[in-house]
Amino acid sequence: MCGRFVLSKNELVQKKHQIKISPSYNVSPSTDVLVLKPEPAFMRWSYSPKWKDDMNLINCRHETLLEKPSFRGSLRCVIISNGWYEWQRQENIKTPYFHFLPENLLYFAGIYNLSSGCAVVTCESANNISHIHHRQPLLLDENQINEWISGKHEISRILDDQISFYQVSKRVNSPKNNDEELLYKI
């Protein structure tokens, strides 16, 4: 699952995609996020099928994307970030971790429709992070962006082994907290 992410590398976004952003260290559902479709645009992170406008989905399983009625007719996009948060559950304790690729932007496969917003496409977690959570965003290499947007479904997961992670503060639990300290390693 992907329920929070980071887009704070404003200079890198400007260099690669020629668009200015304000850094956000705690992007939460129902906010506007930067997507490629293929041109950069801002879109609400909350997907609803055309026939039910209040479903507000934030994730979509890659395995069932082509089967579920909720996603029929959806269009493809790519959600730009530089990392995501995931919580490891052990008994009643939830510990947040930040996942990222050093010195790089991340590109999440996404879907959208014109009447609502977008959702992150997820897949089973890579072996090196599956002990934290069993799902992760489907990560695209820059060379796979256009393939995804144009409708290619089978995507090689070439970035999974490069994911780094570390524990962060539980301050990330509140979307009201949105500062650089959220990325500090514990």
Per-residue model confidence as pLDDT tens digits over 32-63: 999 999 999 999 999 999 888 888 999 999 99
Range of the domain at 105: 4-183
Q: Which residues pair with 28 in a beta bridge?
A: none
Number of separate domains in the chain: 1
93: domain CATH number is 3.90.1680.10
* Cβ-proximal residues to 172 (8 Å cutoff; 6+ apart), any chain: 4, 26, 85, 96, 182
Distance CA 25, CA 30 (A): 15
Residue 1 pLDDT more than 80? no
* DSSP assigned state of 82: S
Q: What is the pTM of this model?
A: 0.96
Which pLDDT tens digit goes with each residue over 140-171? 999 999 999 999 999 999 999 999 999 999 99
Average pLDDT, the chain: 95
